[in-house]
Amino acid sequence: MSSSPFVVDLPRLGIVPVIDLVVSLGAIVFLSIFAQWTYQQYRFLSQWPVLNKAGFFNASKSKEAFQQNSRSLLFDGFAKSPRGYLVDTDLNRQLVLSPEYANEIRSDPRLDFTETTHRDFLGHLPGFEVFKKNNSNAADVVRQRLTQSLGLVTEDISEEMTAVLQEQWSEETDWHELEGKTTLLEIVARLSSRVFLGQEICRNPKWQRITIDYTVNAFMAVAAVKRYPQFLHRFVHWFLPQTCKLRSQVSEARRIIQPVIDQRAAAGWVHPGNESGKKYTDALQWMHDLSKGKEVDFAIGQLGLSLAAIHTTTDLLTQVIYNLCQHPDMIQPLRDEIAAVVGGEGWKRSALYKMKLMDSVIKESQRLKPPALLSMRRHVTKDITLQDGLFIPKGSSIGVSSHWSWDSSVFENPNEFDGYRFVRMAEDPTKEREAHFVSTSPQHLAFGHGNHACPGRFFAANELKIALTHILMKYDFKLREDADPDFFCLGWIMQSNGDAKLLVRRRREEIHLE
């Protein structure tokens, strides 16, 4: 056979040995990485016991056990391993740390909060954009605008509370029955929307339904998708009725908000270069201010604000009302405090700060029933070795337990409601700062702790105090005799009972809050 200049003799050129060498080196590198990963996993797993262990054949049972028995798992875990343990949840394996680590990890840059939310709540899927990492500037809006504007919106919230409370609880002076949590949800949704969207949309019934239903539907949709293996999530979400409904609500939210955005854009958004238009004190204006010319998804931002604010605040307000129904001796002292403070100062932000007893009652209700069993949930972006030598590898999911809230070594009579608990704590100069409702600490992790502590807690505090002021001064209320005010747990989430019925009646006011 004649040779051709286009035929390459591989052995003569030595290419085959080179390929063999590259393959060998690649195999060595792969085995080295695999060996390192295996060692890290062994090192990690050897430190922590694993609870509710999910295997190939019992994965669905493990998920169900976590959903139904999370509180028992929490306490069982710390009985076996006081520093922490691993537990298989409905999505992944979670490292649950003792609160003793809260201060050490609270601002560690290797722990990512937004990644955890993105992963746990499927932020990569359509309809779940509110959970997507870095998808909106809602957190910056709360941190940089809402908190600084609380003094400007106090009277707006009070004005809206007057209107919505009359609608929901009526002017009837005889005892009448209400769906307690349902009416409180409608109230909080209106108050929050008044601040987030102003009067243009806050009383729009379609928007009210979306802000209330979207959060519930989102969690139902997450649960529906998680029933399937992770590799199927990108496909099954297109066909599940829960996720279809969620995408539909996002589209409707955009249809409602867009005309307002178009109107403001046509008039010229107010900014340092254009002061001729009207300056709005609401989150739409703040989102625009912070966008710095970048495109903003106002609907997703608003849904994110509503999701973060409405249901958590409603849940706490409901629990406070239940606790006051069970401890009616607290009601008159609270009314006396309101009459003295608001009656003397009116609706100033400083007046809300001076409601020390109300602050204590709210914090005590939150201590007994925080929003979740696990706080400070983070995704580990780099290997971490804690000060005591414990190792946490990159890629882990971690969180800090809230169980010190019910620990007798931390709180005296921890299972009993004591409305004056944090009033007394504030009298100790060394603990005064921790006694405030908005303060975070390893002993009270309801708002998280550190850099990622809930930025909206200051707004929530004002909103709760204004709502409670109107309710206490305008109405008598009690639980129906057969009502069950006990909360329940579903996974890490702790929820007040939505089925308990309230009896209310209009009373004569000592002071006029309007």
In a shared domain, residues 233 and 360 = yes
Measured in whole angstroms, the distance separating CA 139 from the mean position of its chain's CA atoms is 12
CB atoms within 10 A of CB 229: 9
Going by the DSSP 8-state scheme, the letter that residue 278 receives in this structure is: P
419 and 338 in a common domain: yes
CA pair distance 287, 297, nearest whole angstrom: 9
Q: What is the DSSP letter of 271?
A: B
- 119 and 30 co-located in one domain: no
Residue pLDDT, tens place only, 335-383: 999 999 988 888 877 889 999 999 999 999 999 999 999 999 999 999 9
Same domain, residue pair 27 and 125: no
Q: What's the confidence (pLDDT) of residue 219?
A: 86
**Residues 156, 195 contacting (CB under 8 angstroms):** yes
For helices 180-197 and 283-291, angle between their N-to-C axes, nearest 10 degrees: 50
What span, in angstroms and rounded, lies between the C-alpha atoms of 34 and 265? 55
In which band, very low, low, confident or very high, does the pLDDT at 226 lie, cut at 50, 70 and 90?
confident
- Point out the annotated binding site for heme: 454
Residue 97 belongs to a domain: yes
Q: How many domains does the chain have?
A: 2
By the 10 Å C-beta count (0-12 exposed, 13-18 middle, 19+ buried), 428 is classed as exposed
pLDDT score at 68 = 87
Domain check: are 346 and 448 in the same one?
yes
Q: What is the pTM of this model?
A: 0.86
What is the three-state SS of 328-382? HHHHHHHHHHHHHHHHHHCCCHHHHHCCHHHHHHHHHHHHHCCCECEEEEEEECC
pLDDT recorded at residue 20: 62
Are 31 and 102 part of one and the same domain? no
Residues 153 and 258 in one domain: yes
Query: Per the domain annotation, does 496 fall within a domain?
Result: yes
Three-class DSSP category at 232: helix
Segment 330-341, tens digit of pLDDT: 999 999 999 999
CA–CA gap between residue 457 and residue 427 (Å, rounded): 23
Chain segment 104-120, per-residue pLDDT in tens: 999 999 999 888 888 88
Neighbours of 430 (CB within 10 A): 7
Write out pLDDT tens, residues 413-426: 999 999 999 999 99
* 138-191 pLDDT, tens digit each: 778 888 888 888 888 888 899 999 999 999 999 999 999 999 999 999 999 999
Distance of alpha carbon 106 from alpha carbon 386, whole angstroms: 12
Residue 483 lies in a domain: yes
DSSP-derived pairing of the beta strands 374-380 and 397-401: antiparallel
Q: What Å distances lie between residue 288 and 145, 152, 283, 307, CA to CA? A: 11, 19, 8, 20
Same domain, 17 and 104: no
| CA atoms of 114 and 123, how far apart (whole Å) | 10
Distance between CA atoms of residues 318 and 331, nearest Å:
15
201 and 341 within one domain: yes
Structural domain span for residue 130: 91-506
DSSP line for 75-144: HHHHHH-TTEEEEE-SSSEEEEE-GGGHHHHTT-TTEEHHHHHHHHTTTTSTT-GGGSTT--SHHHHIII
Helix (H) and strand (E) counts in the chain:
18, 13
Report the binding-site residues.
454
Establish if 164 belongs to a structural domain: yes
Average pLDDT, the chain: 87
In a domain, 58, yes or no: no
Q: Which two tokens stand for residue 258?
A: 């867009």
What are the residues whose beta carbons fall under 8 Å from the beta carbon of 175, sequence distance 6 or more?
Answer: 503, 504, 505
- Digit-coded pLDDT (tens) for 446-492: 999 998 899 999 999 999 999 999 999 999 999 999 988 899 898 89
CB 52 within 8 A of CB 92: no
Handedness of CA 26, 29, 33, 35 (dihedral sign): positive
State residue 2's pLDDT score: 47
